[in-house]
Amino acid sequence: QQQVKQSPQSLIVQKGGISIINCAYENTAFDYFPWYQQFPGKGPALLIAIRPDVSEKKEGRFTISFNKSAKQFSLHIMDSQPGDSATYFCAASINNNAGNMLTFGGGTRLMVKP
C-alpha cells in the first residue's frame, strides 16, 4: 500500500512560472518530510525538508508548505528555470531501530520550457 501519494506525475511550466507539486501521507508517525531532486544519471539529492511542527519552510526559490491536520505537504518552485527540469520525489521519514526510513512518493517529472 502506497503511504505517500504524489501528484501530478508530470508537469510542464514556462520559464518564470510557479511549479507546484503535492503530496499526501497516511502514517501520522512520520517525523520528517524531505524533497529530493533527481537529474538523469544522478542520484536523488536532498533539496529541502520540513518537520511536522513547522507549517512552511523557504530556501531561495523553493518553499515547502505543510498541513499537518490534512496530512498534506507541497513543494513550490518560484521563478522556475530550465535548469530545474528534473524528477522530484517527496518522501516521509520515520526513525526506527534500523535508521531513518524513507517512504517515497511516486515522483513528478518537471519540465520548464524556456
Residue 18 or 54 having the CB closest to other proteins: 54
Residue 27 CB, shortest distance to other proteins, in Å, is 14
Assigned C-alpha cell, 80: 522556475
Residue 70 or 98 having the CB closest to other proteins: 98
Residue 20 or 94 having the CB closest to other proteins: 94
Residues contributing to the site for other proteins (CB under 8 A): 31-32, 34, 36, 41-46, 49, 51, 87, 89, 93-95, 97-102, 104-107, 109
Residue 102 CB, shortest distance to other proteins, in Å, is 6
Q: How does 23-60 read in b/e, with b if 16+ C-beta sit within 10 Å? A: bbbeeeebeebbbbbbeeeeebeebbebebeeeeeeee
Assigned C-alpha cell, 14: 514556462
Residue 16 CB, shortest distance to other proteins, in Å, is 27
Nearest-angstrom CA–CA distance, 83 and 48: 17
